[in-house]
């Protein structure tokens, strides 16, 4: 396995360009299964997750080829069985179930894998499929879904932690080819759901209300091929903004959507970070002094859970006491003990982490537990004095395109090495 070696203490300076959104790309890739015509998706980031999804599509019978920054997919003849050995590696793979059910009226898919950050059941996905008329059976780690026909229905998809992003995407895709009108109440409002709806509409679907808690899908007889540009990755944008602030640097972040990041930008401003927007660029630099702030993760447009770990690393440097409360996933503080190895003073109390900030960080070997925890440890290592080794960076490669290369262009002393 590979790791990052980081010699910290160097402020980041320069420009970085944000890649396409991983969380938008995966369901959009899955949506190409809804038609037998060619689709072209531009801006798909080169990540282990997107390449895994391409392999899953190929295993289902589709053609999928990356070329010059675009991904061409044609699912002319497909089968409904998704193999465990591929699906187990990535939770996002569950989003092929909706398109397969819609097009073939049946699917058999393994229960998915992914980062270990807490329970993420797919019961709301299945509830939505059943509301459309599908019969569901779970056996031997597989989900079998079948229906003679799918019929539009009104359903509520709210869960314990709010709306479900992948569940909304999955049911929305299945409903595009159902008879009649489907209304999803408590739908996820995330920009990635809007991006998927825009792609589906470009394919000939009839979807309204994307970005609001009520989605309306009027079923059509068939969908056709389409071209689409993936939105910029808002979590990568947040990560580089936080890294610039943590290292006392000054970075211009290009190709980003500030309107997708209002909660993060607001909290960074409260923490003493200067942010100036110019079109699709953000200029980020730390003010004279960081300030402690309280953060609570919530469904969009609230503060994203995917930026919580990175914000923790920044607040470890801010004098005073910050309280970070996690309302989405119950096991998303696995980075806390590793940041403590760098000198952060953080304690977990129930759903919150208490951060006593302001202590200098010093380099140490640390172990990444999941994708966003990995990013937090990289930020901590960049801000720390001395050398930090971040192990198990395969987590990072799931969600950040060439992160080490981008950081080096900003002046970071970071290199990829084989773990000893």
Question: What are the pLDDT digits (tens) for 4-31?
Answer: 999 999 999 999 999 999 999 999 999 9
Can you list the alpha helix ranges (DSSP code H) found in 234-281? 234-246, 262-270
**Distance (Å, rounded) from C-alpha 45 to C-alpha 152?**
34
Band (pLDDT 50/70/90 cuts) for residue 114 is very low
Q: Is the pLDDT of residue 287 over 90?
A: no
What's the confidence (pLDDT) of residue 218?
98
- C-alpha angle with apex 301: 297 to 306, nearest 5 degrees? 45
Backbone angles phi, psi at 249, to 5 degrees: -100, -170
Band (pLDDT 50/70/90 cuts) for residue 81 is confident
What's the confidence (pLDDT) of residue 117?
34
Band (pLDDT 50/70/90 cuts) for residue 68 is confident
Q: Is the pLDDT of residue 115 over 50?
A: no
Residue 256 known to be catalytic? no
**Distance (Å, rounded) from C-alpha 311 to C-alpha 316?**
9
- The stretch 264-293 carries a mean pLDDT of 96
Band (pLDDT 50/70/90 cuts) for residue 83 is confident
Mean pLDDT over the full length of the chain: 94
Can you list the alpha helix ranges (DSSP code H) found in 298-354? 308-315, 336-341
- Neighbouring C-beta atoms of residue 405, cutoff 10 Å: 10
Q: How far is CA 176 from the centre of its chain?
A: 24
Which bin fits 102, alpha (ψ -120 to 50), beta or left (φ > 0)? alpha
- The stretch 299-316 carries a mean pLDDT of 97
Q: Is the pLDDT of residue 321 over 70?
A: yes
Using only the alpha carbons of the chain, give its radius of gyration. Answer: 21
pTM for the full predicted model: 0.96
Strand segments, DSSP code E, in 197-332 are 206-208, 214-218, 227-229, 250-254, 273-278, 281-286, 295-296, 320-325
**Distance (Å, rounded) from C-alpha 162 to C-alpha 22?**
21
pLDDT tens string 197-252: 999 999 999 999 999 999 999 999 999 999 999 999 999 999 999 999 999 999 99
Q: Is the pLDDT of residue 264 over 90?
A: yes
What's the confidence (pLDDT) of residue 120?
46
CB 21 within 8 A of CB 234: yes
What's the confidence (pLDDT) of residue 268?
98
Q: Which of 95, 115, 189, 256 is catalytic?
A: 115
Query: Check: CATH 3.65.10.10 for 22-229?
Result: yes
What's the confidence (pLDDT) of residue 119?
41
Sign of the dihedral defined by the CA atoms of residues 277, 278, 279, 281, in that order: negative
Which bin fits 374, alpha (ψ -120 to 50), beta or left (φ > 0)? alpha
Band (pLDDT 50/70/90 cuts) for residue 420 is low
pLDDT tens string 162-176: 889 999 999 999 999
Q: Report which secondary-structure segment, H or E, holds 53.
A: helix 48-59
Q: Is the pLDDT of residue 330 over 80?
A: no
SS3 139: strand
CB 234 within 8 A of CB 257: yes
Band (pLDDT 50/70/90 cuts) for residue 106 is very high
Percent of the chain, pLDDT > 90? Answer: 86
User: DSSP letter string over 375-414?
Assistant: HHHHHHHHHSBSEEEEE-THHHHTT-TTHHHHHHHTT-EE
**Distance (Å, rounded) from C-alpha 363 to C-alpha 369?**
18
Burial per residue of 59-71, b for 16 or more beta-carbon CB atoms within 10 angstroms, e otherwise: bbebebeeeeeeb
Give CATH 3.65.10.10 domain extents, the chain: 2-19+232-418, 22-229
CATH topology of domain 2-19+232-418: UDP-n-acetylglucosamine1-carboxyvinyl-transferase; Chain (3.65.10)
Backbone angles phi, psi at 159, to 5 degrees: -125, -170
Q: Is the pLDDT of residue 344 over 80?
A: yes
What's the confidence (pLDDT) of residue 86?
74
CB 62 within 8 A of CB 78: yes
- Neighbouring C-beta atoms of residue 151, cutoff 10 Å: 15
């Amino acid at each position: 396995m590979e790791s990052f070696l980081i010699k910290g203490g160097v402020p980041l300076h320069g420009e970085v360009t944000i890649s396409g959104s991983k969380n938008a790309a995966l369901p959009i890739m899955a949506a190409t299964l809804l038609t037998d015509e060619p689709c072209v998706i531009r801006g798909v980031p080169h990540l282990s997750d997107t390449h895994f999804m391409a392999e899953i599509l190929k295993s289902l019978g589709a053609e999928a080829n990356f070329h010059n920054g675009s991904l061409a997919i044609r699912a002319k003849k497909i089968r409904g069985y998704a193999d465990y050995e591929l699906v187990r590696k990535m939770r996002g793979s569950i989003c092929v179930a909706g398109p397969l059910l819609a097009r073939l009226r049946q699917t058999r898919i393994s229960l998915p894998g992914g980062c270990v950050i807490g329970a993420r059941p797919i019961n709301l996905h299945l509830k939505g499929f059943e509301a459309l008329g599908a019969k569901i059976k779970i056996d031997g780690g597989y989900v079998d879904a079948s229906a003679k026909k799918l019929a539009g229905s009104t359903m509520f998809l709210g869960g314990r932690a709010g709306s479900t992003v992948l569940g909304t995407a999955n049911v929305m895709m299945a409903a595009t080819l159902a008879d009649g009108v489907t209304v999803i109440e408590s739908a996820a409002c995330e920009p990635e759901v809007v991006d998927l709806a825009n792609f589906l509409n470009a394919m000939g679907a009839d979807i309204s209300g994307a970005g609001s808690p009520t989605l309306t899908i009027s079923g059509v007889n068939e969908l056709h091929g389409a071209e689409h540009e993936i939105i910029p990755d808002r979590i990568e944008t947040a990560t580089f903004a936080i890294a610039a602030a943590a290292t006392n640097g000054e970075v211009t972040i290009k190709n980003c959507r500030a309107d997708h990041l209002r909660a993060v930008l607001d909290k960074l401003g409260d923490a003493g970070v200067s942010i100036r927007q110019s079109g699709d660029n953000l200029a980020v630099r730390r003010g004279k002094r960081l300030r402690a702030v309280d953060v609570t993760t919530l469904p969009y447009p609230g503060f994203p859970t995917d930026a919580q770990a990175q914000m923790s690393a920044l607040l470890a440097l801010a004098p005073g006491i910050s309280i970070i409360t996690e309302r989405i996933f119950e096991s998303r503080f696995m980075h806390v003990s590793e940041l403590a190895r760098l000198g952060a003073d953080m304690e977990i109390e129930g759903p919150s982490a208490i951060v006593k900030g302001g202590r200098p960080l010093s380099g140490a070997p640390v172990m990444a537990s999941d994708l966003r925890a990995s990013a937090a440890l990289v930020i901590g290592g960049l801000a720390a004095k001395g050398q930090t080794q971040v192990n198990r960076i395969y987590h990072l490669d799931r969600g950040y395109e060439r992160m080490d290369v981008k950081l080096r262009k900003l002046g970071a002393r970071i290199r990829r090495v084989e773990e000893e």
